[in-house]
């Protein structure tokens, strides 16, 4: 005998078994609240930032850094390849010639040219890392520093003095001559490990002459400036991990 289409599990034809559907509709909201109720007793993993900032990944793309050679000369040669590679047009580079002649501007890098002007607009930068891939001298790398917020849009355009790596032990502030007897390629082959006595003597005499000129001009320094002064006091205070060269290729 064929089953009646109107029959239910109770075996009585013409009657609908609504008990299961009614109970499921009744407990459906309770099941939803049950998920919320169960999470009330779990430990909340709250990140206590900025009191306890989380460490970033080793290859994190943070703010940029212009690196130096072990004696303090700049690695940037002003080739502008980073600016051409930037898809957001956030980098501005203006190169200039190193001038070792008497009365010249001096030498800032081992190459023929150096980056006289270097700016990165962090209102445009998308931190893609294409600029550091394009750099032929490994002058530009990205640090682990990410606290770039500011309440002034103009201060988010970082200049060369803000992007240059701080002077480490054995480094001197440019301009000064290259290590005597070495060429540009010797710098990139790792033959320079620190500044020489001749370079230190040159910098000392240069600074002494600058002090005499400043004294001759009288008290004060009307030409002094503090470019890129930030409201965030620790924006230029890096740790060793944040400034290590080549950490983020």
pLDDT digits (tens, 9 = 90+) for 137-152: 999 999 999 999 899 9
pLDDT (0 to 100) of residue 132: 95
Please give the residue range of the domain that contains residue 203.
Answer: 64-215
Tell whether 149 is covered by a domain: yes
Tell whether 123 is covered by a domain: yes
Highest mean pLDDT among 8-12, 27-31, 118-122: 118-122
Contact yes or no for 74/109 (Cβ under 8 A)? yes
Tell whether 132 is covered by a domain: yes
Comparing CA positions, the residue from 165, 155, 171 lying closest to residue 228 is 155
CATH code of 131's domain: 3.30.70.3270
Tell whether 106 is covered by a domain: yes
Range 74-82 average pLDDT: 95
Is residue 229 part of an annotated ligand binding site?
A: no
Q: CA-CA distance, 171 to 196, in Å (whole number)?
A: 10
User: Is residue 92 over pLDDT 50?
Assistant: yes
Range 7-15 average pLDDT: 48
pLDDT (0 to 100) of residue 245: 45
Is residue 79 part of an annotated ligand binding site?
A: yes
Q: Report the phi/psi class of residue 101: left, alpha or beta, with left for phi > 0 and alpha for psi in -120 to 50.
A: beta
Q: What domain count does the chain have? A: 1
Is residue 86 part of an annotated ligand binding site?
A: yes
Range 175-197 average pLDDT: 93
Tell whether 195 is covered by a domain: yes
Q: What is the pLDDT of residues 189-232, one digit of tens each?
A: 999 999 999 999 999 999 998 877 766 665 554 444 444 444 44
Tell whether 231 is covered by a domain: no
Comparing CA positions, the residue from 152, 116, 168, 135 lying closest to residue 64 is 135
- Beta-bridge partner residues of 117: 94
Is residue 13 part of an annotated ligand binding site?
A: no
List of E strands, the chain? 64-66, 91-97, 113-121, 140-142, 157-158
Tell whether 126 is covered by a domain: yes
Tell whether 240 is covered by a domain: no
Is residue 131 part of an annotated ligand binding site?
A: yes
């Amino acid at each position: 005998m064929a089953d009646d289409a109107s029959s239910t599990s109770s075996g009585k034809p013409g009657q609908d078994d609504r008990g299961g559907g009614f109970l499921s509709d009744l407990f459906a909201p309770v099941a939803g609240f049950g998920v919320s109720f169960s999470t009330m007793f779990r430990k909340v993993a709250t990140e206590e930032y900025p009191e306890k900032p989380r460490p970033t990944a080793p290859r994190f793309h943070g703010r940029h850094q212009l690196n130096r050679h072990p004696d303090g000369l700049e690695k940037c040669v002003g080739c502008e390849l980073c600016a051409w590679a930037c898809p957001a047009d956030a980098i501005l580079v203006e190169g200039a010639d190193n001038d070792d002649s008497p009365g010249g501007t001096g030498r800032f890098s081992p190459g023929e040219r150096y980056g006289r002007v270097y700016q990165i607009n962090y209102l445009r930068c998308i931190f893609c890392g294409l600029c550091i891939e394009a750099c032929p001298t490994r002058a530009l790398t990205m640090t682990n520093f990410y606290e770039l917020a500011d309440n002034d849009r103009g201060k988010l355009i970082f200049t060369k003095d803000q992007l240059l790596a701080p002077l480490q032990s054995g480094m001197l502030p440019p301009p000064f001559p290259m290590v005597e007897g070495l060429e540009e390629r010797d710098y990139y082959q790792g033959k320079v490990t620190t500044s020489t006595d001749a370079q230190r003597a040159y910098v000392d005499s240069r600074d002494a002459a600058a002090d005499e000129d400043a004294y001759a001009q009288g008290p004060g320094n009307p030409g002094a400036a503090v470019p890129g002064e930030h409201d965030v006091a620790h924006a230029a205070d890096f740790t060793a991990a944040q400034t290590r060269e080549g950490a983020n290729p």
